[in-house]
Structure 1
Amino acid sequence: MFAALLAEVSIQTTPLFLIVFLTLLVFFKRRKNLPPSPSGSWPVVGHLLSLGRAPHLKLTEWRKQYGDVYTVRMGMEDVVVLNGYRAIKEALVDYKDAFSSRPNVHVQNLISGFGNGIGFSKFNQAYKEKRKFAYSALRNLGMRMGPGSMEENIRDEARQLCLKLSEQRDPHPRDITDNLTVSVANIICSMVFGKRYDYDDFEFVELTKTVNKLLAQLNSSQPMIVFPFLRFIPGVNSTNRILTECINEVHAFIRQEITKHRETLDNENPRDFIDLLLTELQTQEKTNCFTEENIVWIIQGLFAAGVDTTANTLRWGLLYMVLCPEEQQKVQAELDSVLGTDHDVPTPAHRSQLPYTEATIMEIQRIRAIVPVTPHAPNEDTTFRGYDIPAGTQVLPNLWSANMDPEFWPDPEKFDPRRFLDSDGKVVTRPESFMPFSTGRRVCLGEQLAKMELFLLFSSLLKHFTLKLPEGAAAPSTDGIMGFFYVPPKVNMCITKR
């Protein structure tokens, strides 16, 4: 009996003993010259309880007490946080050779194919070649003016979006998140697959559902990011399983399209992103750095990163337009003065003639960054500002702290597009402490495409519609929801054709 009781106690205490042992082991192995750390770190969970549901806000708050560079505990891992424009620029630009890699995080590895994609791949020769090929293809497709370029595809999608909203004659307030998501997804489809889909096309609807499900699971994956062992525990590892299923479904669709493209490929006349990459795959020198498997993961990355970021930036923009109707009126007045009674959508050529519209889009990106923090890691043991940062340590540039820094942006919570205009009313093209697409070697691959999408879709919506809150409705919150991206709350608004 005593032996049985002893065995039962042993079974109950062994997990606790292992947790305590591992905690002490990690604690005593910590480097001694890391940046300072806020108080309040707990065993196993670290600072997670203090960071709460809006970690970027707490990280920015801690800057006042601990400076621009400090260390937090994410679970049982040391994470170095960079705050403010100067520290972020110094690390990602001046020390770009040191801070251009990514940390070893399971969820990020999973969605990038453990190095097959681009976004979360380690910084090495394979990464550089893949990014070079993808950037060249995007530039050839999206940055070329005239018929057949992405300009015309985006303008066509802007027309379709305005037409869709005009057809929805229900006078009741509505949320247009789905419409925006479909429009942006269709732009990616036209670029990658060489065609757009009708809004009710079965294949397209299923693809967007899967991508949305993938992004939703990424938002639910935060515990597994901090505690990767959770993916092995039955009952709590459903996120990992669903992520894998969604990735497989998206890949099946992409591979089907690659097969179709290979059957009709004309190397001299590439039609889209797939054709350009397949042509590159045939003509490049023999290398293991770029394969057909890379193409699948790169395309998935375009959907995962390119759809939600642009659609939610537009959602933030429309939210601030209904909260600041005087700013909406200024944008509309400028659009009318340049475009007159033309019922078509604007073109990129109008951009220089619409400085207030451009400044408004920049202010939307500043005041509500879609990606407030973005993970980096040093390639090797690095000394930064007198601190020793081991290779592979997760480093978080807090872009929110730069975009909301009162030193550069007085009264940062006030929505004011004039911040981005000089004394002559022209757009300030490279303002300091403004990094909506990050900076350095890991700057967003699709930055130029995203800028074109935001300008054409946002200006088209405000040219054709006036957006208002329902009569008597309370002002919606500007507190976002933090997941993989920082997204606005859903808002029902009255959309009136101008």
Structure 2
Amino acid sequence: MESKSSHASLFSLETSTGNILPKIKETNTGNNETWRVFFTLCPIFAFLWFAWLYIQKSRIGSGSSPPLPPGPRGLPLVGNLLSLDPDLHSYFTSLAHKYGPIYKLRLGTKLCIVVTSPSAARVVLKDLDVTFANRDVGAALYGGSDIVCSSYGPELRMLRKVCVQNLFTKTKLDSVRELRGKQVRKSVGQLHSRIGSPVNLGEQMFSTMLDVSTNVLWGGTVEEGAGFGTAFRKVMSELWELLARLNISDLYPGLARFDLQGVAKKMKGLEVKFDGIFEAVIDQRLRMEKQGAKEESNDFLTFLLRVKDDGDAETPFTMTNLKALLMNMIVAGTDTSSNTIEFAMAEIMNKPGVLEKAQQELEAVVGKHRIVEESHIHKLPYLTAVMKETLRLHPVVPLLFPHCPGETCTVGGYTIPKGSRIFINVWAIHRDPSSWENPLEFDPTRFLDSKWDYSGSDFQYFPFGSGRRICIGIPIAERMVMHLLATLLRAFF
């Protein structure tokens, strides 16, 4: 997913036009006093800030410990915050050209480390994987009891086991193939009905992926299951807007308890809305089972409810975990996949030769008068290469989700302090001219006979991350993106 960003202001000033004339003299006197206090306190705060930095530097640099990574000089209290560019992945790439593949930034009081080389990424995501397996993502839904935000430990291992060994197996994904196919055909029908009119492909793909996600999660056995789509779109729109804001509590953790911007409060409100949707679906499913519904469901919800009832007593799978997983699958499975399809279509339409090769392959494998089925996608090596090349240039999360070391360690000859926020700039690594020939050129043929896959084992190409925090939804994402992309190319070109 390319970055979703919005401009956020840390401070706002309000002026009042009330009856101020009788207070001018008093105001002038007050202003003089305010400036006097201001100029008195500024040197004190500056002294304390530089003293704190000196102590930290001395503590880290004492003994034989390596130094901190290099980086741009920051201002007191705000650090490098004022120089940030909204497109963080490209801005971080430009800083790497000046400061090297590992460098530091101070955002408020938060120390951030940016990694922009395959060798350093290997250390973080493989050699010291356990040390860096924690997250640093700020405010989260369901108290962070999900796969994305959970700290590394028994709960996270239990959640990943539930998904990897049961939900995303080939057998389980095959069992809900028809649910996915039905939504793909529905989307194509909607597009056909609008031939001759402008279409926002991104919105259409987002809507399709949302319908696919909800149908795979609780299927057609829940009455009016598709009716929840509208509610989800609204809540997810609010969630993305909230996540795009610059949260002061992330930059100054000591202020988190005060929730100055109300982010934690608003996140809790969104959680209540997600609860309302999930509980309605779960209650309906339980009522159907009590009434002795004859049709046995194959969807994910049925399995998750079974795991909750028969789960491990040592690390129980709770209702909160269940809701958090449903939220993960819907939020992560819609926007990222729809963005990948939109980028792929844009790149293909700008490359007539790529479009022609993809069409020839589809005609040879699918046939002239047949629709694309999911069973065809493993026979489409060129279109697979198109998807891989799209993810090289446009990885779904350009900086991955921030990691957080559980202890102070050394990477690339530099000290990485415990609790710092680690960004892996996979966007820059995928465009590194030392690893890729003509790196800015969209060329799927580079993946036709290559070793690169989505496993995260090669740190020149790892669009879904690597190690213990690698994306668990790769199998279903690959199926859905390939199926939709092949269907669009077959139906409209």
Task: List aligned pairs for 1:397-436, cutoff 5 A.
Answer: 397-422=424-449, 429=453, 433-436=460-463
Q: Please, which of 342, 346, 352 is the counterpart of residue 373 of structure 2?
A: 346
State how far apart, in whole Å, the 2-side matches of 1:328 and 1:216 are: 35
- Cα drift, residue 233 of structure 1: 7.6
With 81-90 and 13-22 compared, the bigger mean Cα shift is at 13-22
- Unaligned 5+ residue runs, structure 2? 1-25
- Cα drift, residue 179 of structure 1: 1.4
The count of corresponding residues between Structure 1 and Structure 2 is 453
- Unaligned 5+ residue runs, structure 1? 467-498
- Cα drift, residue 39 of structure 1: 2.6
Q: Please, which of 174, 183, 198 is the counterpart of residue 157 of structure 1?
A: 183
When residues 451 and 379 of structure 1 are mapped into structure 2, their CA distance, relative to the original with a 3 A threshold, is same
Q: Please, which of 113, 122, 125 is the counterpart of residue 80 of structure 1?
A: 113
- Cα drift, residue 273 of structure 1: 1.8
Task: List aligned pairs for 1:41-60, cutoff 5 A.
Answer: 41-60=74-93
Structure 2 residue identity aligned to 1:298: L
With 223-232 and 212-221 compared, the bigger mean Cα shift is at 223-232
Deviation string for 1:16-69 (max 9, x for gaps)? 578646634642343334532223422233223443122212322333333322
State how far apart, in whole Å, the 1-side matches of 2:484 and 2:214 are: 16
Aligned to 2:131: 98
- Cα drift, residue 248 of structure 1: 1.7
> How high is the sequence identity, in percent, across the aligned residues?
24
8 A Cα contact 2:101 2:116, kept in partner = yes
Task: List aligned pairs for 1:20-419, cutoff 5 A.
Answer: 20=46, 23-24=49-50, 26-30=52-56, 31-32=60-61, 33-103=66-136, 105-107=137-139, 110-111=140-141, 113-140=142-169, 143-144=171-172, 146=174, 149-169=175-195, 171-195=196-220, 202-221=227-246, 225-227=250-252, 237=261, 239-265=263-289, 271-347=298-374, 349-374=375-400, 375-419=402-446
State how far apart, in whole Å, the 2-side matches of 1:246 and 1:18 are: 41
Structure 2 residue identity aligned to 1:101: N
Structure 2 residue identity aligned to 1:398: N
SS at match of 1:207: helix
State how far apart, in whole Å, the 1-side matches of 2:312 and 2:172 are: 27
Deviation string for 1:367-419 (max 9, x for gaps)? 11221112001122223333332322211111112211112211211111011
8 A Cα contact 1:210 1:246, kept in partner = yes
State how far apart, in whole Å, the 2-side matches of 1:418 and 1:330 are: 11
- Cα drift, residue 222 of structure 1: 5.6
Deviation string for 1:227-257 (max 9, x for gaps)? 56787789x7265544432232112111222
When residues 319 and 216 of structure 1 are mapped into structure 2, their CA distance, relative to the original with a 3 A threshold, is farther
When residues 61 and 345 of structure 1 are mapped into structure 2, their CA distance, relative to the original with a 3 A threshold, is same
- Cα drift, residue 86 of structure 1: 2.0
8 A Cα contact 1:363 1:415, kept in partner = yes
- Cα drift, residue 133 of structure 1: 1.5
SS at match of 1:114: helix
Larger Rg: 2
Structure 2 residue identity aligned to 1:130: L
When residues 145 and 251 of structure 1 are mapped into structure 2, their CA distance, relative to the original with a 3 A threshold, is closer
Q: CA RMSD in A?
A: 3.3
8 A Cα contact 2:120 2:411, kept in partner = no
TM-score, length-normalised on structure 1? 0.81
